[in-house]
């Protein structure tokens, strides 16, 4: 590595044992190499960047230049800000701004998908087409659009017009509010939190958190719910549904994960980010015969395309493209020296990637007008001519392959898992073609084979050992007969641990194991990227509609967790789960001060209002205990707790019956 490139060299700073940083063997191997190579990663920066304790607890405000004002978390009511803002106002406003940022990220992504859909439908874009017309009809029907005897193009035009309201509408209710169970919707109406349109809610959230506007924590929290719901039942749901319509609805597929999916003798290209259209076009480009030929002329055996983070989670289920790792492995994989180009779009792209890429001569290529990175190569992606960008990325990657100088070391670790459980497929899988419905799932919950359902989602974070909390939490849940649905980086943590394969059923409790073995499914169902958390909302609504488990989402024996979260999107996701009625627990650190009114409000009072509520714990077994306690509590309220106490009959019981 050239001396001048060692701008990422670690100065004499604190170092910790790599085994305390990650449970991912491949990432650990690359962190060892990074140390030998003198290359810095987020883990090194985290160790040497002590979080500001006041900021971590959300006890400071910099919303105007009379401040910044710092309050005392140990004695939260001893001081107020210069303007008089209390700790509750300050924390609620900070929380509201995180929700707004998270909602903006997902809804802007959803709007891009909807723009693409419009251009495909009106014929202005030829490179993509409607791949799943059945899903198009189902989505249209779910929001009251007539489909009988109509042409797909006409239905699609109507669907576009309707879904555009998700973003631009200023009064009324967003279209997918029609999918919300009636009692949940009535609660929202009573509380005044049904989203009107995402743009309006996000704008109002930012307005109300400006200095001198909303200064009651409970009223600010209402707008947090309304904004977050505009994401979960709005922007994110549109993104998921339109992506399925354009690129295909996922169904189970066996895929390889981990860094061993890189191939030393191939041109390796990684796609990292969130937008499936970039990846879809890249698939076309890497299969372009002239480019494959070029790669061979450069001495490669071919072109190897792999995904990371949520981009990877989107396409692995649609195309079986291998996945190389989650958020905290994106710098580490560049240390292999085997990556010829990492191509990124939006969200969760660490700026630190640019320096690591530079150290190994890898092209870091930004493609989205919203996301440029100093030091990266920018090749803009245009949906009208998508291959202009992706072909150029491939050409750059081939050039780098030809001129590789970095020493290559690829961890030889690959895991196989089955992913792609859309809510449609769960319905089909459990019900079969004669009984396609959520009835079998509900019945198995009622009879106690399945104790409840957990959504375990979210990021990885250098403040906790990578993947450890996800994996230990999920193991404990399935051991206790809780079926786990997963998205985003959490899903990849479990895939690397081998828990997304049907064979993992042996780790489940007897009831869940019986169901998994009957159906041939894993006890952990990977359902997509972080934007696809909306699939969990739809599954929950279907469970309510199917009957027998209460009238609202808040009645269901379900719980959610993001045990290694880091992003504002995660906070927004948490809030839309809570507002939808789900008990939701976060790990790492919660940005809140104990013994405050705001904490009591979101950790307790929201539940009393018919919504879900927040909770916090760090230890995976403690998180599992709290989730199971909530599930059991719901079972008791539904009067189905007795079913779990049934005694399984052994042979002597049967003999007694026969003798009687
Ligand atoms: Fe301080 Fe109030 Fe200004 Fe915030 S808005 S910085 S609490 S004076
Ligand atoms: S990518 S938001 S680190 S899940 Fe969706 Fe992963 Fe969290 Fe980003």
Dist. CA 136 → ligand 2 center (Å): 27
* Mean pLDDT, residues 521-549 taken together: 93
Domain 259-402 and domain 421-638, same fold? Reply is yes
pLDDT band at 434 (very low <50, low <70, confident <90, very high): low
Looking up tokens 């060299």, which residue turns up? 9
Q: Which of 489, 495, 536 has the most ligand 2 atoms within 8 A of CB, as the residue to mutate?
A: 489
Dist. CA 214 → ligand 1 center (Å): 13
User: How many whole angstroms separate alpha carbon 111 and alpha carbon 128?
Assistant: 17
Q: Which of 98, 331, 348 has the most ligand 2 atoms within 8 A of CB, as the residue to mutate?
A: 348
Q: Give the strand pairing for 482-487 and 452-456.
A: parallel
Domain boundaries, the chain: 11-53, 87-247, 259-402, 421-638
- Cβ 311 vs Cβ 333: under 8 Å: no
pLDDT band at 423 (very low <50, low <70, confident <90, very high): confident
How far is CA 356 from each of CA 7, 359, 383, 525, 650, rounded to the nearest angstrom? 9, 5, 29, 33, 60
Q: How far is CA 134 from the centre of its chain?
A: 25
How far is CA 580 from each of CA 102, 183, 516, 556, rounded to the nearest angstrom? 17, 11, 28, 11
Say if residue 153's pLDDT is above 80.
Answer: yes
Q: Dump pLDDT digits (tens) for 370-419.
A: 999 999 999 999 999 999 999 999 999 999 999 999 999 999 999 999 98
Q: What's the pLDDT at 652? A: 52
User: How many whole angstroms separate alpha carbon 608 and alpha carbon 585?
Assistant: 17
Count, residues in the chain: 660
Whole-number mean pLDDT of the chain?
Answer: 93
Q: Dump pLDDT digits (tens) for 296-335.
A: 999 999 999 999 999 888 888 888 899 999 999 999 999 9
Q: Annotate 576-623 with DSSP letters as a single string.
A: HHHHHT-EEEE-S--S--SS-HHHHIIIIIHHHTTS--EEE--SHHHH
Q: Dump pLDDT digits (tens) for 595-647.
A: 999 999 999 999 999 999 999 999 999 999 999 999 999 999 999 987 765 44
Q: Which helix (H) or strand (E) holds 534?
A: helix 533-546
| Three-point CA angle 525, 560, 523, nearest 5° | 25
Cα–Cα nearest to 485, from 428, 442, 429, 537:
537
Residue ranges lining ligand 1, Cβ < 6 Å: 61-64, 66-69, 81-83, 85, 90, 211
Task: Kindly give the residue spans of alpha helices, DSSP state H, lying in 192-329.
Answer: 198-208, 217-230, 236-247, 276-286, 289-297, 309-319
pLDDT band at 519 (very low <50, low <70, confident <90, very high): confident
Q: Dump pLDDT digits (tens) for 120-149.
A: 999 999 999 999 999 999 999 999 999 999
Whether a cis peptide bond, with omega within 30° of 0, leads into 558 is no
- Which tops the pLDDT comparison, 423 or 571? 571
Say if residue 1's pLDDT is above 70.
Answer: no
Q: Give the strand pairing for 452-456 and 363-366.
A: unpaired
From 4-8, 12-16, 117-121, 510-514, the region with the lowest mean pLDDT: 4-8
Dist. CA 553 → ligand 1 center (Å): 38
Q: What's the pLDDT at 12? A: 53
Q: Which of 311, 347, 470, 493 has the most ligand 2 atoms within 8 A of CB, as the residue to mutate?
A: 347
Q: What's the pLDDT at 16? A: 86
Q: What is the DSSP letter of 75?
A: S
pLDDT band at 431 (very low <50, low <70, confident <90, very high): low
pTM reported for the whole predicted model: 0.94
536, two tokens: 């969990």
Say if residue 429's pLDDT is above 70.
Answer: yes
Q: What's the pLDDT at 647? A: 45
Q: Helices 468-479 and 488-496 sit at what angle, rounded to 10 degrees?
A: 80
* Mean pLDDT, residues 136-165 taken together: 96
User: How many whole angstroms separate alpha carbon 411 and alpha carbon 409?
Assistant: 7
* Mean pLDDT, residues 477-504 taken together: 96
- Cβ 235 vs Cβ 110: under 8 Å: yes
List 371's β-bridge partners, or say none. Answer: 368
**Count H helices, E strands: the chain?**
28, 15
How far is CA 9 from each of CA 6, 28, 44, 362, rounded to the nearest angstrom? 5, 18, 11, 17
Say if residue 539's pLDDT is above 90.
Answer: yes
pLDDT band at 425 (very low <50, low <70, confident <90, very high): confident
The number of C-alpha atoms within 13 Å of 288 and in the hemisphere containing its C-beta is 19
Say if residue 89's pLDDT is above 70.
Answer: yes
Say if residue 658's pLDDT is above 50.
Answer: no
From 44-48, 434-438, 510-514, 555-559, the region with the lowest mean pLDDT: 434-438
Residue ranges lining ligand 2, Cβ < 6 Å: 309-310, 327, 347-348, 458-459, 488-489, 529-530, 567, 569-570
54, two tokens: 């006041």
- Cβ 93 vs Cβ 209: under 8 Å: yes
Dist. CA 6 → ligand 2 center (Å): 29
Q: What's the pLDDT at 508? A: 97
Q: Dump pLDDT digits (tens) for 252-303.
A: 889 999 999 999 999 999 999 999 999 999 999 999 999 999 999 999 999 9
- Cβ 578 vs Cβ 602: under 8 Å: yes
Say if residue 540's pLDDT is above 70.
Answer: yes
Which of ligand 2's atoms lies nearest the C-alpha of 530? Answer: 5
Q: What's the pLDDT at 204? A: 98
Q: Tell me the CATH number for domain 421-638.
A: 3.40.50.2030
Q: Helices 568-580 and 533-546 sit at what angle, rounded to 10 degrees?
A: 10
Architecture in CATH of 259-402: 3-Layer(aba) Sandwich (3.40)
Q: Give the strand pairing for 253-257 and 614-616.
A: unpaired
419, two tokens: 């992913």
The sign of the CA dihedral 194, 195, 201, 205 is: positive
Instruction: Kindly state the percentage of the chain with pLDDT values over 70.
Output: 94
Q: Domain 87-247 class?
A: mainly alpha
Note the ligand closest to the C-alpha atom of 83: 1
Q: What's the pLDDT at 298? A: 97
147, two tokens: 């489909």
Cα–Cα nearest to 57, from 76, 77, 79:
76
Looking up tokens 């989602």, which residue turns up? 457
How far is CA 379 from each of CA 291, 364, 367, 390, 443, rounded to the nearest angstrom? 18, 10, 5, 9, 52
Dist. CA 211 → ligand 1 center (Å): 7
* Mean pLDDT, residues 20-30 taken together: 97
Q: Dump pLDDT digits (tens) for 201-225.
A: 999 999 999 999 999 999 999 999 9
Cα–Cα nearest to 459, from 425, 501, 503, 491:
491
């Amino acid at each position: 590595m050239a001396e001048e490139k060692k701008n990422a060299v670690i100065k004499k700073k604190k170092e910790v044992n790599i085994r305390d940083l990650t449970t991912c063997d491949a990432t650990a191997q690359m962190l060892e190499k990074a140390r030998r190579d003198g290359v810095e990663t987020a883990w090194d920066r985290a160790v040497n960047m002590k979080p500001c304790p006041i900021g971590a607890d959300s006890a400071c405000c910099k919303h105007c230049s009379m401040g910044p004002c710092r309050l005392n978390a140990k004695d939260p009511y001893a001081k107020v800000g210069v303007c008089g803002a209390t700790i509750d106002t300050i924390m609620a406003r900070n929380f509201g701004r995180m929700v707004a940022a998270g909602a903006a990220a997902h809804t802007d992504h959803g709007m891009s998908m909807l723009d693409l859909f419009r251009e495909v439908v009106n014929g202005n874009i030829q490179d993509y087409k409607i791949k799943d017309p059945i899903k198009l009809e189902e989505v249209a029907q779910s929001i009251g659009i007539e489909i009988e005897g109509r042409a797909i193009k006409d239905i699609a035009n109507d669907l576009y017009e309707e879904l555009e309201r998700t973003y631009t509408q200023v009064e009324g209710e967003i279209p997918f509010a029609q999918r919300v169970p009636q009692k949940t919707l009535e609660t929202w109406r009573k509380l005044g939190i049904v989203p009107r349109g995402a743009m309006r809610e996000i704008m109002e959230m930012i307005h109300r958190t400006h200095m001198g506007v909303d200064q009651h924590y409970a009223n600010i929290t209402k707008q947090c719910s309304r904004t977050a719901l505009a994401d979960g039942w709005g922007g994110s749901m549109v993104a998921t549904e339109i992506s399925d319509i354009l690129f295909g609805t996922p169904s189970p597929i066996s895929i390889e994960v981990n860094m061993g999916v890189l191939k030393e003798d191939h041109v390796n290209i990684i796609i990292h980010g969130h937008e499936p259209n970039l990846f879809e076009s890249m698939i076309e480009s890497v299969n372009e015969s002239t480019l494959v030929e070029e790669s061979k002329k450069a001495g490669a055996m071919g072109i190897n395309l792999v995904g990371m983070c949520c981009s990877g989670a989107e396409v692995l289920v649609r195309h079986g493209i291998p996945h190389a790792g989650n958020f905290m492995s994106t710098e580490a994989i560049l240390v292999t020296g085997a990556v010829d180009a990492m191509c990124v779009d939006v969200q969760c792209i660490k700026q630190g990637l640019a320096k690591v890429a530079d150290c190994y001569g890898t092209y870091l290529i930004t493609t989205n007008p919203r996301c440029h990175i100093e030091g990266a190569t920018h090749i803009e992606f245009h949906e009208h001519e998508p291959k202009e960008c992706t072909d150029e990325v491939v050409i750059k990657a081939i050039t780098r392959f030809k001129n590789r100088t970095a020493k290559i070391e690829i961890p030889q670790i690959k895991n196989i898992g089955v992913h792609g459980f859309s809510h449609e497929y769960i319905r089909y899988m459990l019900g079969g073609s004669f009984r396609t419905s959520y009835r079998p799932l509900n019945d198995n919950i009622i009879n106690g084979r399945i104790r409840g359902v957990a959504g375990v989602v979210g990021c990885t974070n250098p403040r906790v050992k990578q993947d450890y909390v996800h994996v230990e939490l999920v193991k404990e849940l399935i051991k206790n007969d809780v079926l786990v649905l997963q998205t985003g980086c959490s899903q990849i943590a479990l895939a690397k641990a081998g828990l997304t394969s049907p064979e993992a059923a042996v780790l489940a409790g007897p009831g869940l194991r019986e169901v998994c073995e009957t159906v041939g499914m894993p006890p952990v169902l990977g359902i997509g990227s972080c934007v696809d958390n909306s699939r969990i909302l739809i599954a929950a609504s279907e469970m309510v509609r199917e009957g027998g488990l209460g009238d609202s989402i808040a009645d269901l024996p379900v719980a959610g967790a993001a045990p290694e979260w880091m992003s504002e999107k995660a906070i927004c996701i948490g809030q839309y789960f809570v507002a939808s009625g789900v008990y939701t627990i976060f790990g790492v650190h919660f940005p809140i001060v104990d013994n405050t009114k705001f904490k009591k409000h979101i950790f307790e009072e929201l539940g009393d209002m018919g919504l879900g509520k927040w909770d916090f714990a760090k230890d995976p077994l403690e998180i599992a205990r709290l989730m199971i306690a909530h599930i059991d509590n719901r079972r008791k309220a539904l009067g189905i707790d007795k079913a779990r106490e049934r005694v399984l009959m052994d042979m002597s019981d049967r003999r007694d019956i026969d003798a009687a």
